[in-house]
Amino acid sequence: MRDNAMPRRRFLTAAGALGLAGAAGVVATSTACATTSSAAPQADPAMQHAAGLMTLIGSYTSASPAGRGLEVAIRNDAGVLEPSGVVDGVPDASFFAWSPDHKYLYVTNEVPEGTITAVDLSGHHPVVLGSQPTGGAGPTHLTVHPSGEFIFTANYTDGTVSVHRRNADGTIGESTDLVKHPGAEPHAHQVLVDPSKQWVVAVDLGADAVFVYAFDAATGKLTQHQHLELPTGTGPRHLAFNYDRAYLLAELKSEITVLDWDLDAGQFTPGQVVGTREPDASGENFPAEIAITRDAKFAYATNRGDNNIATFAITGEGLEFRGTTPVGGDWPRHFALDPEQTSLYVTNQRSGAITRLTRDAGSGALSPTQDVYECPSVAAVTFHG
């Protein structure tokens, strides 16, 4: 969910809506760089044609201070994000998933009666194609099947996973399934498709479990195949696949469990457990996001509380902790590697800013920069590269 001032099992904030730009795209009049102002970016739509990488940013419109929902920035050649506009009709935008052809973006609207929104990015301006209810509450994560034919959504509040068909025109089709995780207080936090494209995996923070589902592409139905239980109080949040291995990040224990993954059998086997914090770290800490590099040599995870990113070398045995790097903000909820994988862009929810860390591809080391893009209650960032 959107915050973690207390353990995740004990709270849920409300949701709402805000926007400025309409289906035609972004709105008018130029403004100063968002590195110095938190006002909503209102730039000339011609910026969409400017050189640079389109960057999509999600934030909580119902939070205090209010975020802007879905906004567009342009990353220039120096790596700095410049404001380009706000897209109307995408409230509480908390996570993103791309279609296989990278022409359509799908967004979780983390509202009590959950919805997901489709956005067409095949032209020069974002166009909202519409939204569909998930059938669950508080969606926090979604993914598109590699075939492009289905969308899976994890609904945190009620611990459900929903399935929708995806239409050829990019719109969200009919709901084909809704499964609820067992347990007294399930909270599905992530859903993704494994590298073999055979299995659907859901990570549940409240149930302290990872669920593996067989998926029937003819009917769009999920059938539970494995229920991997973690120690009570682990609070698994997100995992990242590395072909026949996965790295499972625990929000409530500040640790990563290395899982062996049998692609044919659809079975996880837990192995090494490694911490995400420095040995002398103290106070509360709630890890949030984990990702591995394209060359599968390094893994990174955010620490909310310590406000840093942990770096790990990926080895044959598992993970080797290499230390942490300050993010330059408060409560790093999410981060994204740019397409060149030379920088990490970190969404610092409480300080309302995206900060940039440069990355050395050889050593995996991260270095802070002075680049800051202000965005109140920011949740997620992705690149249209």
**42-97 pLDDT, tens digit each:** 443 433 445 799 999 999 999 999 999 999 999 999 999 999 999 999 999 999 99
pLDDT of 5: 37
Which amino acid does the sequence have at 212? V
Question: How high is the pLDDT of residue 167?
Answer: 98
Q: Please, are residues 313 and 335 in contact by the beta-carbon 8 Å criterion?
A: no
- Is residue 321 within 8 Å of residue 255, measured between CB atoms? no
Contact yes or no for 345/361 (Cβ under 8 A): no
Burial class (CB in 10 A: 0-12, 13-18, 19+), 49: exposed
Is residue 46 helix, strand or coil? Answer: helix
pLDDT band at 34 (very low <50, low <70, confident <90, very high): very low
Please name the helix (run of DSSP H) or strand (run of DSSP E) that holds residue 313, with its range, or none. strand 308-314
pLDDT of residue 50: 54
Per-residue pLDDT of 15-31, as tens digits, reads 222 233 333 333 322 22
| DSSP conformation class of 90 | -
Residue 112 and residue 81: Cα distance in Å, rounded? 31
Strand order in the sheet with 160-166: 139-144, 150-155, 160-166, 172-180
| Calpha distance 210→204 (Å, rounded) | 6
Question: Rounded mean pLDDT of 231-251?
Answer: 98
Q: Read off the pLDDT of residues 268-317 as tens digits, 9 standing for 90 and up.
A: 999 999 999 999 999 999 999 999 999 999 999 999 999 999 999 999 99
pLDDT at 342: 98
Do 225 and 238 touch, CB atoms closer than 8 A? no
pTM: 0.90
In this predicted structure, what is the pLDDT of residue 11?
A: 28
Report H helices in the chain: none
**Chain length of the chain:** 385
